Amino acid sequence: NAGVTQTPKFRVLKTGQSMTLLCAQDMNHEYMYWYRQDPGMGLRLIHYSVGEGTTAKGEVPDGYNVSRLKKQNFLLGLESAAPSQTSVYFCASSYLGDSFSNQPQHFGDGTRLSIL
């Protein structure tokens, strides 16, 4: 029973490099989310998706792109990494946000990303 799986778990990048974080869920959830978590800042929403083929901006979208080509996968891309993007990134998924209002978001274990 995998739930939400994130790869990789750790990564170190140099400024200007690009990379893609992968999130996969096996719960047939419609909604998927990418957050970043920084000390003292809580979880901040980067981008989210309400279904296959759709994406939307969250609170802090600049410098990131996302794609949801398949319902079970949600990819987060950094085109040109900057030190300010050093953070822990969490992916989450849930059933339809309002129709199933008591259903929580399920989180992956996180990706620890350092940009030098």
Partner 1 sequence: GQNIDQPTEMTATEGAIVQINCTYQTSGFNGLFWYQQHAGEAPTFLSYNVLDGLEEKGRFSSFLSRSKGYSYLLLKELQMKDSASYLCAVRPRGKLIFGQGTELSVKP
Q: Which of 58, 61, 63, 77 binds partner 1 (CB under 8 A)?
A: 58
Q: Which of 37, 16, 21, 116 is nearest to 77 (CA)?
A: 21
The CB-of-107 to partner 1 minimum distance in angstroms stands at: 4
Quick one: which of 48, 74, 89, 95 contacts partner 1 (CB under 8 A)? 48
Of residues 62 through 91, those in contact with partner 1 by CB under 8 A are 90
The smaller minimum CB distance to partner 1, of residues 58 and 77, is found at 58
Among 23, 75, 81, 108, binds partner 1 (CB under 8 A): 108
Q: Is the peptide bond before 8 cis (omega within 30 degrees of 0)?
A: yes
| Residue whose pair of structure tokens reads 């998924």 in the numeric block | 93
Check binding of 106 to partner 1 (CB under 8 A). Answer: yes
Residue among 22, 29, 32 at smallest CA distance from 75: 22
Number of residues that bind partner 1 (CB under 8 A): 24
